[in-house]
């Protein structure tokens, strides 16, 4: 996953400020500036930490919606979370199957002139080569489940996609193993716990009265939130790498005119 790019983020904020300035009247537009460019103070940094954490939750909910999680399904996940942990699971399957062996003649583009008595003739060189045809299949699924996923009634299929291609090799060794399965999952119970009953609004709040609460950063609530975000970031990074790998495999082994694995198909069911 890409690291935080401050310059890119600042450029986006500046563009947003320009858009807002067009909407507002001249007097108000003249006073608009990014928060880090004007003198300011926070009367309650605990409230700031709450707002930022709730904003991050809203961003994740928006991302889940974009990849196919409906509001109804999100409500189901929250209901499951009342009695069992809930996880997102990504599974990518790669299969490589030998199809056939063929032998064909390959003509050398160069010509050799040979003297035969009174005559000179041109001879072409033809080499017999063996080629091996393999079928490569790649597909993935993204789902959500409660517990370890052994209850079919508590599994939600979010999205899936796949593709296949034939590739030709001049060595008998297969380009991939016959079957490979990569599986990643992430526990999203913390996320669901900090949603209201309608599963639409983030409700994170630091317990200031807890004995472990020392500052807006040094407290158990924020530490748990950071642990979740680290695990979720790691999960997203693993998923992205496998999707990109699937796309690159087709670029490497597929014909130029063949249909490609659509990495944007993450929201295609």
The reply to whether 213 falls in a domain is yes
- pLDDT single digits (tens) 54-102: 999 999 999 999 999 999 999 999 999 999 999 999 999 999 999 999 9
- pLDDT single digits (tens) 172-208: 899 899 999 999 999 999 999 999 999 999 999 999 9
The reply to whether 106 falls in a domain is no
The reply to whether 57 falls in a domain is yes
* pLDDT(166) > 80: yes
The reply to whether 37 falls in a domain is no
pLDDT at residue 2, as a whole number: 54
Tokens of 68: 């196919």
- b (16+ CB within 10 A) / e for 16-43: eeeeeeeeeeeeeeeeeeeeeeeeeeee
* pLDDT(14) > 90: no
The reply to whether 12 falls in a domain is no
- Domain residues for the domain of 80 are 44-93+140-162+180-267
The reply to whether 168 falls in a domain is no
The reply to whether 75 falls in a domain is yes
Domain count, the chain: 1
Which pLDDT band, with edges at 50, 70 and 90, does 262 fall under? low
CB 77, CB 68: distance < 8 Å: no
The reply to whether 66 falls in a domain is yes
């Amino acid at each position: 996953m890409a690291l935080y790019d401050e310059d890119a983020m600042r450029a986006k904020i500046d563009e947003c400020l320009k858009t807002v300035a067009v909407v507002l009247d001249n007097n108000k537009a003249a006073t608009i500036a990014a928060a880090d460019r004007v003198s300011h103070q926070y009367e309650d940094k605990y409230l700031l930490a709450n707002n930022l954490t709730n904003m991050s939750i809203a961003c994740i909910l928006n991302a889940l919606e974009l990849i196919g999680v409906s509001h109804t399904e999100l409500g189901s996940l929250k209901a499951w979370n009342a009695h069992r942990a809930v996880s997102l699971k990504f599974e990518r399957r790669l299969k490589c199957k030998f199809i056939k062996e063929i032998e064909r003649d390959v003509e050398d583009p160069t010509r050799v002139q040979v003297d035969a008595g009174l005559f000179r003739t041109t001879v072409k060189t033809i080499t017999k080569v063996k080629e091996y045809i393999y079928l490569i299949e790649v597909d993935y699924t993204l789902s959500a489940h409660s517990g370890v996923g052994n209850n079919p009634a508590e599994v939600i299929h979010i999205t899936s996609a796949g593709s296949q291609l034939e590739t030709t090799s001049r060595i008998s060794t297969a380009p991939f193993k016959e079957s490979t399965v990569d599986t990643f999952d992430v526990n999203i119970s913390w996320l669901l716990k900090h949603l209201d009953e309608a599963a639409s609004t983030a409700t994170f709040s630091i317990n200031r009265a807890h004995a472990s609460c020392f500052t807006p950063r040094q407290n158990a609530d924020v530490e748990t939130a950071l642990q979740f975000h680290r695990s979720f970031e790691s999960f997203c990074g693993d998923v992205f790498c496998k999707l990109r790998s699937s796309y690159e495999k087709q670029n490497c082994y597929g014909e130029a005119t063949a249909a490609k694995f659509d990495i944007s198909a993450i929201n295609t069911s």
